[in-house]
Amino acid sequence: MPTFLPIAFFRNKFCPFEEATLSIATHGLHYGTGALGGLRGLPDPANPKQILLFRLERHCQRLSNSARYLQFDVPTSHIKSVLIDFVKHNRPTEPFYIRPLVYTSDLGIAPRVHDIEHDFAVYGLPLGNYLSPEGITCRISSWQRPSDLNLPLRGKITGGYVNSALAKTEALKSGFDEAILLNAQGKVSEASGMNIFLVRGGQLITPGVDQDVLEGITRHSVIQIAQNNDIPVIERPVDRSELLIADEVFLCGTAARIAPIKRIENYDLPVDRPITDTLQSTLTAIVENREPAYREWVDVIPLD
């Protein structure tokens, strides 16, 4: 069982994590009528009395937008204020992950999002590498990525993650680290909880937002970093066959950061990854507040 940060935010107050409990009749538990967020933080390497949070404003805005799909108004400013107070209450001493969650909290059985009680909660846990930064293996999933006609893919809706869970388990049970899902058109979409990029001929390529991908915050960051380093970026449909002959392929997300792929199915990919390495090292420097040009992406939270 993972170790969690000691203080949670639950029912509009901070409390010990162990006291933040739900009834088994909670509506959101039965119908997946919730929306989640996730952001990373770490003690400032240059000043342990400060905490660094990566792209806090954008994470709060996305959760606020996701809550709107559930007909729940949670202002970005409120989410941001709670997350900052959450960090101050917990005073983490190692890299960590924050999970904010909005959900239908009524004790009812009718699936709906209107005329129902909602709640907003936050917890966190220490988190190092979610996937190996040295390279992972992937399989093409037999499960298909849903389309925006099935559920709102621009929101991180909890019920939709059964698709990710099935794909991830299938990958792990068949000897791989991660799954790559195709969309209904047979084009590459994303991994179980991460966006995907490939490099061909010096160009950085990623499925566009019309390919049923989450509009990932790390994805957006990688595109901006690449453009600032004069790396051409192309957003377009990607065939699965392209992955097998790419010069480089990597996944990115809040938990995974940038994870290079070393093998897809039974195809080994090149071990030299110059563009991936550049993006990986730059993102690490940004998160640690060592890149002045990207200071606006990092919120510095004083603990005293």
Domain ranges of the chain: 7-126, 136-287
Contacts of 210 (CB under 8 A, 6+ apart): none
Question: Do residues 47 and 85 make contact, with C-beta atoms less than 8 angstroms apart?
Answer: no
CATH 3.40.50.300 fits 7-126, yes or no: no
Report residue 295: phi and psi, to 5°.
-60, -30
How does residue 304 score in pLDDT terms, banded at 50, 70 and 90?
confident
Structure confidence at residue 133 (pLDDT) = 84
Q: What is the pTM of this model?
A: 0.95
Structure confidence at residue 129 (pLDDT) = 86
Instruction: Please determine, for residue 262, whether its predicted confidence score (pLDDT) is greater than 80.
Output: yes
- Of 6-10, 95-99, 196-200, 253-257, least confident by mean pLDDT is 253-257
Could you give the 3-state DSSP secondary structure of residue 120?
Answer: strand
DSSP at 257: E
CATH class given for the domain over 136-287? alpha beta
Q: How far is CA 72 from the centre of its chain?
A: 21
Name residue 136's beta-bridge partners: 261
Q: Taking Cα atoms as reference points, which of 201, 213, 276, 280 lies closest to residue 246?
A: 201
Could you give the 3-state DSSP secondary structure of residue 62?
Answer: helix
Q: Is 257 exposed, middle or buried (0-12, 13-18, 19+ CB in 10 A)?
A: buried
Structure confidence at residue 183 (pLDDT) = 98
CA distance linking residue 174 with residue 248, whole number of Å: 23
55: left (phi over 0), alpha (psi -120 to 50) or beta: left
Q: Is 277 exposed, middle or buried (0-12, 13-18, 19+ CB in 10 A)?
A: middle
Looking up tokens 């093409």 gives 140
How does residue 134 score in pLDDT terms, banded at 50, 70 and 90?
confident
